[in-house]
Chain A
């Protein structure tokens, strides 16, 4: 059957019940009550775990077959979760190599690796053709999930960064072309935003006062929104797009305030915020991590904050970004004295580099295991929250050393996406476009897409996944 356009589908979903055979025609199992909900009735969650400057295949590449594969020491901390993960090896970043793409290898990787859309150059000028291109040309898969499922959680998505934010091509997540979603770095700032006082400034122990603040804020946002609404039609198309995007986000905040009042402080109880019925594990008391400048404490805090936000159902979509392309973090607390990006330009034979890259990737993986452990520790129905989660571990390029490349990528999928993903597998491909993986992910979240990113690059889901 000819696939239906997803907008058509969702328009239908919004208002009326839809007969099951029609759902089946869309390839959605009968048992499913609503998009983005697992067969057992729990919300599906999607997380992106992004690392940068490339994998290092010699220390990364697992050996063995589809089910008897052997992971490298760098992944030792994920060994207990082998049945909950799928390694997808050998996809190519098609948008990177598209002739329409702009910029050098750094921007071609960073601006495309989750969008499947070519990178764009600022302002359409041809004055430079160097490394100034800085944006994805389109939406990334996490935000597509947000857009299509529109989860009614306090935050439609949460973005956190271990290292950077703000520079050119420094962002993993995009709402669209030229619309990056920079993540927050400081665990205390994140804590205050998501746990203390709602959107900030409103922490109060008095529920009546809290309710009044919400009412007031909604009135203000409504009035503010009218100034954008009135302006938009008077503008040219490009400016209108910008103002409309601002307006949409004001409305989104207005809606989120309605969904959930500020959590009374000073010891907030996120459980009150609405972890799903039947789910356990939302801590009664979340404290400001106050990580200061200690990088290990920061890494632990970000990992825990993301886990807690998911467990307490404050969001269902998130990105934890560990660095950026060209990010030259010196992982001095691991005993490393050189910048990560500088090392990613070394040849394999440069003394010490491989050992140092191993330390960095082990550091990431240990935190990933920390996150997975938290999610797997939460019971949902007969399973765990991890069963209803999909974590995509991706990198902006494949191999960093010996020439940055976007071919032969390594992706790791953890969790079961609410049912459809069977773990414990190593799947090898030879050059399929990573766009196919994104289509598969959308399908796992009950979004009946057949393409994602630039449809000219590829169509259909990833076979065997």
Chain B
């Protein structure tokens, strides 16, 4: 969520109601504040997904009527056992996905060795639920269409100028047109991530012929390549699924569609030669074959980039790219600091996921971090030797885990002070996946002014004494007050305005509520909550599949993921993403397109 957005949470010091709408929400106190994918029932909008931890063994298939896909007729891969899942395969909706800027850059890198990141000029994606790859929102605009043309021209020109022989894969001296035909077939298959159809060949051969007539052989190749890079089959992840049997509404994927799903899941890029060869040999249809490929993809450095990208987005670290702090309030927050803070968290995450326990719990609680000399000096920590980032031990009292790192704490703060509501709301919404009900219309909302005699907790007293505020803020504020141990730029502190900061409190609204004393205690409490684990699962679902979980249709897939995440290991969760109905199957596109 946008940190800016939650800036609005708060209640006026005097709690005045404006515009006379009291009657509209007079019964507010009776409402719950959270509507959630978690455990708080609000009666209306939440809880379409089974409540977290609801893996008690009760089959749920009889409570809903999913589309009539029939697993009996379904091709392999075999499904993972889950008591939430019924015999009916239900993959949920499959929305056509346009490549994001990251995926575009990665794809032209892996397709052509082009390192220029041409998509960086494209308009930014819309961010939904923290992530930029929500398929529904990836629409086209004139600026984007022009960007595609410019980027395709640039990339194709570069390939023809600098890498023509490698790109062609044949020697035009032995016959230009024959070489072009071979190029279209072999390179086109890589660009489109599947064997070409006769229709594809006609379009590409025609544009090659056209280009050759006006600009010679190289011109023809360049124009064919430009066309491929602008085509729907490169820019979109197009899927039809394997040809279904009569009456089936769900089908498995073609091997090449499965190869693309795997590579974009783990690498955010196109399949490599080995994955494509596996698709060619129809070796992506059994559980074992898919597992082997996922294991291989995870061992590649490109998987590290994906883990970094996920956490950069999930943990609001992109906010550091444009962060502004008031230099009067925070003179040490020099321009280089935010970039270093981002590196700190990303290096920490990388270390935990790939070299440490690899668990969500460790992300929340690990008593170490990564700093270089400049950042250590900023934090007033003992500086490591050398200029590079190094792993340093923490005492585990003041700081431990990502919640206590400077980047997140700076993003979740105001320009000149902390913002306990924003921090608490981030934890509820992004880390526990509990959606917050917006403040009712007509309530006057403002941030309490700074006061040199009060702590943050004291300034927000109205959130506790006004019932209308307390309804929600009793969920949000105690977490934010726990994080008051960090000022607006993430510096650890025990005192504010000569008063000791009270960082104790209770987290309510969880299956198992708990009291905490101090920020590392808070991190540990959150880490062991079912809600945090289930939320990490939902976040990876959204990021991995480029869409939100769709209620009952995805209940089985979510359950498979939750069970696989019982270990808390991020890598196992990533592997499990390739094992769900949502990943292994898709709905059949109805004849005539009705949907």
Task: Name A residues whose Cβ lies closer than 8 Å to a Cβ of B.
Answer: 103-106, 122-123, 125-132, 134-135, 155-157, 159, 165-168, 170, 175, 178-182, 184, 189, 193, 199-201, 212, 215-217, 219-221, 223-224, 226-228, 230-231, 233-240, 242-243, 245-246, 249-250, 252-253, 326-328, 330, 332, 337-339, 341-342, 345-347, 350, 402-403, 405
- Residues on B with C-beta less than 8 A from A167 are 2, 124, 126-127
Q: Which residues of B contact A346 (CB under 8 A)?
A: 446-447
A269 CA to B136 CA in the complex, in Å? Answer: 41
User: Inside 8 A of A231's CB, which chain B residues have their CB?
Assistant: 232-233, 238
A-facing residues in B23-44 (Cβ within 8 Å): 35, 37, 44
Given A201-B150, A236-B593, A403-B441, A220–B129 Cβ distance below 8 Å? no
8 Å CB interface, B536-575 against A: 547-551
Tell me the minimal C-beta distance from A209 to chain B in angstroms: 11
Tell me the bound Cα distance from A181 to B438 in angstroms: 27
Nearest residue, chain A, Cβ from B326: A337
Contacts of B436 in A (CB 8 A): 130
Q: Are A220 and B444 in contact (CB under 8 A)?
A: no
| Chain A to chain B contacts (Cβ below 8 Å), 16 pairs | A126-B46, A127-B37, A132-B128, A179-B141, A199-B149, A219-B210, A235-B96, A235-B593, A242-B140, A246-B232, A249-B140, A252-B145, A253-B142, A337-B416, A341-B8, A347-B446
Contact status B123-A123, CB under 8 Å: no
What is the interface size of chain B, counting residues whose CB is below 8 A from a CB of the partner?
94
Closest to A166 in B: B124
Q: Nearest-CB distance from A306 to chain B (Å)? A: 15
The reply to whether the CB of B351 lies closer than 8 angstroms to some CB of chain A is: no
Q: How far is the CB of A350 from chain B (nearest CB, A)?
A: 7
Alpha-carbon gap, A239 to B154, bound state (A): 29
Q: Assuming the A-B contacts A235-B593, A328-B4, are A125 and B550 also in contact, with contact meaning beta carbons closer than 8 angstroms in the complex?
A: yes
8 Å CB contacts to A: which residues of B137-151?
137, 139-143, 145-146, 149-150
**Which residues of the partner chain B approach A215 to less than 8 Å between Cβ atoms?**
214
Within the complex, the shortest CB–CB distance from B233 to chain A, in Å, comes to 6
CA distance A130 to B33 in the complex (A): 11
A342 with B447, Cβ < 8 A, contacts A127-B46, A132-B1, A220-B226 known: yes
Interface of B is mostly: loop
Using a CB–CB cutoff of 8 Å, the interface residues on chain B facing chain A are: 1-2, 4-8, 10, 12, 18-19, 35, 37, 44-46, 48-49, 95-96, 98, 121, 123-129, 134, 136-137, 139-143, 145-146, 149-150, 152-154, 199-200, 203-204, 206-207, 210-211, 214-215, 223, 226-227, 230-233, 236, 238, 240, 324, 326, 328, 414-416, 429, 435-439, 441-447, 449, 547-551, 589-590, 593-595
**Interchain CB contact (< 8 A) of A239 among B95, B435, B441, B548:** B95
Contact A129 B203 (CB under 8 A): no
Q: How far is the CA of A402 from the CA of B441 in the complex (A)?
A: 11
Look across to chain B and name the residue whose beta carbon is closest to the beta carbon of A247: B232
A sample of 10 more A-B contacts (CB under 8 A), given A182-B124, A223-B207, A341-B7, is A127-B435, A127-B551, A128-B35, A166-B123, A212-B214, A217-B149, A223-B227, A237-B594, A250-B230, A253-B142
B446 touches A129 (CB 8 A): no
- Inter-chain contacts of B45 with A (CB < 8 A): 126, 128-129
Set B96, B129, B143, B236: member contacting A182, Cβ < 8 A: B143
In the complex, what residue of chain B is closest to A407 when comparing beta carbons? B19
Distance of A246 Cα from B127 Cα, bound (Å): 20
Most chain B beta-carbon contacts within 10 A, residue among A127, A221, A228: A127
Which 7 interchain pairs have the tightest Cβ spacing?
A: A166-B124, A104-B438, A236-B595, A227-B231, A128-B435, A224-B230, A239-B96
Among B98, B142, B593, point to the contact of A252 (Cβ < 8 A): B142
* Known contacts A123-B134, A326-B8; A402/B444 CB under 8 A: yes
| A104 vs B154: C-alpha distance when bound (angstroms) | 43
Are the C-beta atoms of A249 and B435 separated by less than 8 Å? no
Q: Contact at B595–A219, with CB atoms within 8 Å? A: no
Nearest chain B CB to A360 CB, angstrom units:
15
Shortest distance from the beta carbon of A131 to any chain B beta carbon, whole Å = 5
A330 near B324 with CB under 8 A, answer: yes
* Residues in chain B near residue A253, CB distance under 8 A: 142, 145-146, 149
Q: Point out the residue from B206, B435, B438, B548 that lies within 8 Å of A123, measured CB to CB.
A: B548
Q: Which residues of A contact B240 (CB under 8 A)?
A: 234
Q: Are B226 and A123 in contact (CB under 8 A)?
A: no
- Name the one of A123, A181, A217, A342 contacting B7, with C-beta atoms under 8 angstroms: A342
Partner of B446, one of A200, A239, A252, A345: A345
Which chain B residue has the least Cβ–Cβ distance from A170? B126
Taken together as a complex, chains A and B put the C-alpha atoms of A128 and B37 apart, in Å, by: 8
**A129-B35, A253-B145 known; A242-B437 Cβ under 8 A:** no
Please report the C-alpha to C-alpha distance between residue A249 and residue B590 in the assembled complex, in whole angstroms. 26
Measured CA separation A130–B443 after assembly (Å): 16
- Given the known interface contacts A129-B35, A181-B141, A220-B223, the answer about A242 and B96 at a Cβ–Cβ threshold of 8 Å is yes
Closest to B443 in A: A403
Which of A178, A189, A239, A402 touches B18 (beta carbons < 8 Å)? A402
Measured in the bound complex, the distance between the Cα atoms of B233 and A195 in whole Å is 31
Instruction: Output the least CB separation between A283 and chain B (Å).
Output: 23
Partner of A166, one of B127, B416, B595: B127
Write the nearest CB–CB distance from A90 to chain B, whole angstroms. 15
Q: Are A326 and B150 in contact (CB under 8 A)?
A: no
Q: Is A131 in contact with B5, judged by CB distance below 8 angstroms? A: yes
> CA separation between A224 and B152, bound complex, in Å?
11
CA of A328 to CA of B411 in the docked complex: distance in angstroms?
13
Which of A122, A130, A217, A339 lies in contact with B438, CB distance below 8 A?
A130
Known: A105-B438, A122-B137, A240-B593. A338 touches B416 (CB 8 A): yes
B136→A123 contact, CB < 8 A: yes
- The reply to whether A223 and B206 contact each other, CB–CB distance below 8 Å, is yes
The 8 Å CB contact of A230, one of B199, B415, B548, is B199
Q: Are A126's CB and B142's CB within 8 A?
A: no
B residues in contact with A347, CB < 8 Å: 12, 444, 446
Residues in A with CB closer than 8 Å to B443 are: 403
CA distance A345 to B445 in the complex (A): 6
Distance between Cα atoms of A216 and B227 in the complex (Å): 11
Q: B95 to chain A: which residues have CB within 8 Å?
A: 238-239
Q: In the complex the two chains form, is A125's CB within 8 Å of B141's CB?
A: no
Residues on the A chain within 8 Å of B126, using CB = 134, 166-168, 170, 180
Q: Is the CB of A216 within 8 A of B223?
A: yes
Q: Is the CB of A350 within 8 A of B446?
A: yes
